Amino acid sequence: MSHLRYSGLPFEDQRAAFLAIVAADPLLGETLARVRALALPDWLVVSGALYNSVWNHLTCKPPGYGIKDVD
């Protein structure tokens, strides 16, 4: 089960994998760049887009698959 390939790794390795997946996703990259450019005092990108991006990576789906919006 390749979607479980990170499950037994130490926390720091899982964190590094998560950050690499997020950084490689064009939708999230564009979203984070735009939000940073707005220079808002307090902002978050929350679970839906992050979850789907990771799940897409783990299941070999294309980036952005199933993501209707980013909150």
Dmax (CA) of the chain: 42
Quote the pLDDT of residue 11.
Answer: 93
Quote the tokens at residue 58: 């783990």
| Neighbouring C-alpha atoms within 13 Å toward the C-beta of 34 | 8
Which has the minimum average pLDDT: 1-10, 20-29, 31-40, 52-61?
Answer: 1-10
For the chain, the domains span 10-58
Q: Is the pLDDT of residue 64 over 70?
A: yes
What does the pLDDT average to over 31-43? 89
Number of C-beta neighbours around residue 53 at 10 A: 25
